[in-house]
Copies of this chain bind each other. A is one copy, B any other.
Amino acid sequence: MTEPAPVMVNGFDGSRAGDLPPATQELIRRRDRALGPAYRLFYDRPVSFVRGSGVHLYDAEGNAYLDAYNNVPCVGHSHPHVTEAVARQLATLNTHTRYLTDGLVSYAERLLATHDLASPANAMFTCTGSEANDLALRIARHHTGGTGVIVTANAYHGVTAALAELSPSLGPNVPLGPHVRVVPAPTPGVNFTAAVAWAVSDLERHGVRLAGFLADSVFSSDGVFPDPAGFLAPIPEIVHAAGGLYIADEVQAGFARTGSHMWGYQRHGLAPDIVTMGKPMGNGLPVAGLVARQDVLDDFGRNARYFNTFGGNPVSVAAAAAVLDVLDADALPANAAATGAYLKDGVAGIAAGSAVLADVRGAGLYLGVDVVSPSTGEPSAEQASAIVNGMRERRVLISATGPRGHVLKIRPPLPFRPEHADQLLAALSDVLADVSSFRS
Contacts and interface: CB of A to CB of B under 8 A. Distances in A.
Interface of A: 2-3, 5-6, 8, 24, 27-28, 30-31, 34-42, 46-52, 57, 70, 72-73, 77-78, 80, 82-83, 86-87, 90-102, 104-105, 108-109, 112, 122-124, 126-131, 134-135, 137-138, 141, 159-162, 164, 170-171, 173-174, 278-279, 283-287, 292, 294, 297-311, 313, 315-316
B159 A48 contact: no
Contacts of A302: 5, 37-38
Contacts of A170: 304-305
7 contacts: A35-B97, A37-B302, A46-B100, A78-B91, A90-B285, A131-B131, A159-B307
A137 B108 CA distance: 32
B86 A35 contact: no
B101 A73 contact: no
A77 B100 contact: no
Given A285-B315, A305-B8, A86 B90 contact: yes
A137 B161 contact: yes
Contacts of A160: 131, 134, 160-162
A337 B77 CA distance: 42
B38 A316 contact: no
A262 to B, nearest CB: 18
A311 B6 CA distance: 22
A34 B82 contact: no
Contact of A87 (B47, B83, B162, B294): B83
Contact of A38 (B94, B100, B102, B301): B301
Contacts of A99: 41-42, 46-49, 57
A83 B122 CA distance: 32
A47 B98 CA distance: 9
Given A46-B100, A90-B87, A100-B47, A34 B127 contact: no
Contact of A298 (B37, B130, B298): B37
Contacts of A42: 98-99
B36 A301 contact: yes
A66 B160 CA distance: 37
Given A36-B298, A130-B131, A284-B315, 13 more contacts: A34-B108, A38-B122, A38-B300, A52-B93, A52-B95, A78-B94, A82-B90, A95-B284, A126-B128, A131-B160, A135-B159, A137-B161, A160-B161
Contacts of A162: 160-162
A36 B124 contact: yes
A313 B294 contact: no
Contact of A105 (B27, B102, B124): B27
Contacts of A49: 93, 95, 99, 101
Contact of A39 (B95, B97, B112): B97
Contacts of A82: 90
A70 B86 contact: no
Contacts of A36: 122-124, 292, 294, 297-298, 301
Given A2-B299, A297-B36, A92 B78 contact: yes
Nearest to A86: B90
A80 B46 CA distance: 34
Contacts of A135: 159
- Most B Cβ at <10 Å: residue of A3, A77, A130: A130
